[in-house]
């Protein structure tokens, strides 16, 4: 039987947000964005930014910026008759991540001391 040991852990909870618009069928839909960290054009929040991105959500200020951008883009579209209705939808995020050490240990085949210089190919 192997002896497992707990490693680093992270857990917590917070609220994350998504900007939504009311479509022509009266259904709330997510405003399309590229889900990247950081969001293009909108900085990710310092706290929880990476956790939010994993689940495809963002901070309140970021969601608000996306909603305003979407309304501005729609108002610039000559084919639209009226501005869309938008909202910021909140989601409760709860997470717990634990690393458990396994029995496999990787050992490099060659070590180089920090004071040694490695000869470059000429």
pTM to 2 decimal places: 0.68
**Residue boundaries of the structural domains of the chain:** 5-101
Q: Which pLDDT tens digits describe the chain residue by residue (122 residues)? A: 455 677 888 889 999 999 999 998 999 999 987 655 555 567 777 778 788 888 889 899 999 999 999 999 888 887 877 778 999 999 999 989 888 877 776 666 666 666 656 566 55
Which residues pair with residue 86 across a beta bridge?
Answer: 21
Reduced to 3 states, what is the DSSP secondary structure of residue 45? coil
The alpha carbon dihedral of 99, 105, 109, 113 has a sign of positive
């Amino acid at each position: 039987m192997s002896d497992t040991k707990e490693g680093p852990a992270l857990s917590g909870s917070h609220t994350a947000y998504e900007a939504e618009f009311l479509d022509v069928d009266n259904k709330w839909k997510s405003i399309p964005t590229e889900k990247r960290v950081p969001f293009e054009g909108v900085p990710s929040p310092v706290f929880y930014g990476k956790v939010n991105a994993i689940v495809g959500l963002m901070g309140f200020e970021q969601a608000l910026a996306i909603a305003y951008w979407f309304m501005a883009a729609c108002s610039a579209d000559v084919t639209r008759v009226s501005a869309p209705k938008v909202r910021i939808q909140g989601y409760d995020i709860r997470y717990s991540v634990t690393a458990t050490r396994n029995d496999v240990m990787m050992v490099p085949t060659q070590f180089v001391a920090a004071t040694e210089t490695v000869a470059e190919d000429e």
